[in-house]
Amino acid sequence: MMKQQEQERQERIRKQAELNFSKAKLPERMQMHSEKQKQLPPKRSDTYDSHSFKPKINELVTAEQFKKAQDKFNQKLNKKKAQQ
């Protein structure tokens, strides 16, 4: 008895969902836009390679080079601090 009622309930819910889905539509302006987009040719995805700007990629810095730059910076900083 309970299983039959549960099945009937599930069936009513499914039918109502199908009815609501069939009635659903986009607002008029959005519908026009989606139809217009379907008519346009698809955008080209290879535009990534055609960009004229290509940033320079820095060379790899070793730990020794970084340590030298850090020491040089610290020396300049200490010199400026001493002048004040």
Q: Which pLDDT score is estimated for 47?
A: 56
What whole-number distance in Å separates Cα of residue 40 and Cα of residue 43?
9
CB 26 within 8 A of CB 34: yes
For the cut 90, the answer to whether the pLDDT of residue 1 exceeds it is no
The overall pTM is greater than 0.75: no
Of 1 and 80, the structure prediction assigns the larger pLDDT to 80
pLDDT single digits (tens) 15-53: 999 999 988 888 899 989 989 998 988 777 665 566 788
Domain boundary assignment for the chain: 1-38
